[in-house]
Chains A and B, each alone.
Chain A
Amino acid sequence: NAGVTQTPKFQVLKTGQSMTLQCAQDMNHEYMSWYRQDPGMGLRLIHYSVGAGITDQGEVPNGYNVSRSTTEDFPLRLLSAAPSQTSVYFCASTSGQGRLDYGYTFGSGTRLTVV
């Protein structure tokens, strides 16, 4: 049981380049989300999905796109990277309603630097 797998772990981009951060979970979780972590800011929600084919914006969605074609995968796309997107990105998943005691599982993070 791998949990939540994020790739790559590290990435350096030039301003204007595009890339996709991958996130996959093998727990059949309905809910998946992307966060970014900046110094002193905690974690802020970028986009989330409550199931395949359904996505919505979080607190800081500008500059990012997502899609959810399968339950397992939730990629995050940077269309035109900017230095302000330098951050650590976390993907998380959790099961839906019905469980009495549940928690979120986080991936190990992707450290992105935009130069």
Chain B
Amino acid sequence: GIQVEQSPPDLILQEGANSTLRCNFSDSVNNLQWFHQNPWGQLINLFYIPSGTKQNGRLSATTVATERYSLLYISSSQTTDSGVYFCAVALFYGGSQGNLIFGKGTKLSVKP
């Protein structure tokens, strides 16, 4: 099956620093999403980005589908950015959305 690899596995930043998280996937996909799991365990959908670039405030994401990778950029990091960031891809079944396959995540700690 398709493999999803995220790097780095752990990242420690000082507040205000910028960072880039990477997601590589082993096959063509029709759906790619980035999630943030906060310290309380809640999963928040950040971006649906099967291709191209999107921005939302201090966060932006770029997916290059032909090269099978996606990047999540966090600028001017804040302590509230701490948590685990997951990349997940989905395959289509029968024309409708399929099942999300998750990477193992990048654990981000932002220090004040």
Residues of A bordering B, CB below 8 Å: 30-31, 33, 35, 40-45, 48, 50, 58, 88, 90, 92, 94-97, 101-106, 108-109, 111
From B48, B86, B94, B97, A43 is in contact (CB under 8 Å) with B86
Say yes or no: A45 contacts B99, CB within 8 Å: yes
In the assembled complex, the CB of B111 is this many whole angstroms from the nearest CB of chain A, namely 23
Q: Interface on chain B toward A: helix, strand, loop, or mixed SS?
A: strand
Known: A88-B41, A90-B43. Contact between A101 and B100, CB under 8 A? no
From A50, A102, A111, B48 is in contact (CB under 8 Å) with A102
Residues from chain A with Cβ under 8 Å of B42 in the complex: 106, 108-109
Number of interface residues of B (CB under 8 A): 21
How many pairs of residues, A versus B, come closer than 8 Å at their CB atoms? 58
- The segment from B13-21, B56-64, B75-83, B101-109 that touches chain A is B101-109
Say yes or no: B33 contacts A104, CB within 8 Å: yes
Residues of B bordering A, CB below 8 Å: 33, 35, 41-43, 45, 48, 86, 88, 93-97, 99-105
Say yes or no: B96 contacts A96, CB within 8 Å: yes
Chain A to chain B contacts (Cβ below 8 Å), 9 pairs: A35-B102, A43-B86, A44-B102, A45-B101, A101-B48, A104-B88, A106-B43, A109-B41, A109-B42
